[in-house]
């Protein structure tokens, strides 16, 4: 019998050995959990208290981790609940506005900022920055430089 804790709610779960390494739903919260290959939980998992805990539990070692954590600080396992939408949280409105200003003032940096935004999941803003850099930033800077030369 495999014993482990749900990665979302922390409830203790038991499963037959034949499900080792497979994904099953928690009977309590219905979240998917990857069953550990080991047959028994580690000793420190038995001490976990779930009262008033708003984080998640590592699927490998059962350590308490923040929902936003990309990896468990104890074992280095990836947090499967961290999705691309959580990665997008780190790009605030100020960064997007700054990218638009860069697109007009320094077109090369605007293009680089646009590519960065696209990689981080803000595709529409990234494309807009690149297009603004090409069609507004470059011509504006060229006209400014030619006016300064005269």
Task: Give the integer Cα–Cα distance in Å for 150 and 145.
Answer: 9
Task: Give the integer Cα–Cα distance in Å for 99 and 90.
Answer: 15
Mind listing the pLDDT tens digit for each residue in 61-119? 777 777 767 777 777 777 666 544 444 446 788 889 999 999 999 999 999 999 999 88
Rg (C-alpha) for the chain, rounded Å, is 24
Q: What pTM did the predictor assign?
A: 0.43
The answer, yes or no, to whether residue 35 has pLDDT greater than 70, is: yes
Q: Running DSSP on this structure, what letter comes out for residue 136? A: I
Residue 56: what pLDDT? 76
Residue 134: what pLDDT? 96
Q: Which residue has the tokens 């494309």?
A: 127
For helices 123-132 and 107-119, the axis angle rounded to 10 degrees is 170
Query: Could you give the residue ranges of the DSSP H alpha helices within 11-91?
Result: 84-88
**Displacement of CA 105 from its chain's centroid (Å):** 31
Between 63 and 144, where is the model more confident?
144
Task: Give the integer Cα–Cα distance in Å for 111 and 120.
Answer: 14
Residue 55: what pLDDT? 72
Q: How confident is the model at residue 135 (pLDDT cuts 50, 70, 90)?
A: very high
The answer, yes or no, to whether residue 21 has pLDDT greater than 80, is: no
Task: Give the integer Cα–Cα distance in Å for 43 and 123.
Answer: 46
The answer, yes or no, to whether residue 49 has pLDDT greater than 80, is: no
Residue 136: what pLDDT? 95
Residue 79: what pLDDT? 67
| φ/ψ (deg, to 5) at 140 | -65, -45
Average pLDDT along the chain:
78
Residue 109: what pLDDT? 94
**Displacement of CA 80 from its chain's centroid (Å):** 10
Task: Give the integer Cα–Cα distance in Å for 121 and 89.
Answer: 10
Q: How confident is the model at residue 53 (pLDDT cuts 50, 70, 90)?
A: low
């Amino acid at each position: 019998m495999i014993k482990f804790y749900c990665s979302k709610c922390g409830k203790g779960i038991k499963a037959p050995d034949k499900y080792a390494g497979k994904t099953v739903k928690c009977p309590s919260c219905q979240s998917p959990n990857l069953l550990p290959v080991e047959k028994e939980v580690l000793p420190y998992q038995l001490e976990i208290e779930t009262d008033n805990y708003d984080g998640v539990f590592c699927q490998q070692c059962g350590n308490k981790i923040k929902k936003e954590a990309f990896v468990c600080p104890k074992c280095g396992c990836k947090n499967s609940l961290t999705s691309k939408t959580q990665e997008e949280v780190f790009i605030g409105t100020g960064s997007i506005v700054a990218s638009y200003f860069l697109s007009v003032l320094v077109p090369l940096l605007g293009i680089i900022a646009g590519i960065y935004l696209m990689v981080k999941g803000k595709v529409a803003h990234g494309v807009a920055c690149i297009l603004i850099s090409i069609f507004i930033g470059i011509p504006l800077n060229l006209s400014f430089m030619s006016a300064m030369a005269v």
